[in-house]
Amino acid sequence: MKEEILRRFFIDVTSEVFSPSFFTVLDYHTSSMVKEDLGDIMAKEPKKVYEILIDMFGTDYIQLLDLAIISYLRERYDIDMRNSIFELIKMEAISDLKRIAFEYYSRRLKNPS
């Protein structure tokens, strides 16, 4: 099942937390490896995104990305982050990821940058 909200959330949150070009660069490097758009993979197979990023960057780098995203969502939007974003992706916890995405978009609309 394709979850477009997860695709959009992954692109928007990485762009907002790191830089507008962060996802573009990440996608460029991963798509040359797997021949598919990283956002599309996120929408169809979230766990595959985790596996690709771990293969490319290693666990330490992914943990740093995760901490940055969690901290940002908690501080900027007061989103209750009970779990690591990348752990949720790894476990394909779609309902938890969608809850976070919906909270993110709801609070982003109420409090635009």
| pLDDT tens digit sequence for 10-31 | 999 999 999 989 999 999 988 8
Residue 24's pLDDT is: 92
Q: What is the pTM of this model?
A: 0.89
* pLDDT (tens digit per residue) in 94-112: 999 999 999 999 999 987 7
The structure tokens listed for 18 are 């790191």
Rounded distance between C-alpha atoms, residue 104 and residue 42, angstroms: 17
Q: Is the pLDDT of residue 32 over 90?
A: no
Query: What is the mean predicted confidence (pLDDT) over 77-92?
Result: 91
Residue 88: pLDDT band by 50, 70, 90 thresholds?
Answer: very high
4-110 domain in CATH 3.40.190? no
Question: Kind and range of the H or E element at 96?
Answer: helix 94-110
Report the chain's C-alpha Rg in angstroms.
Answer: 13
The structure tokens listed for 26 are 């990440």
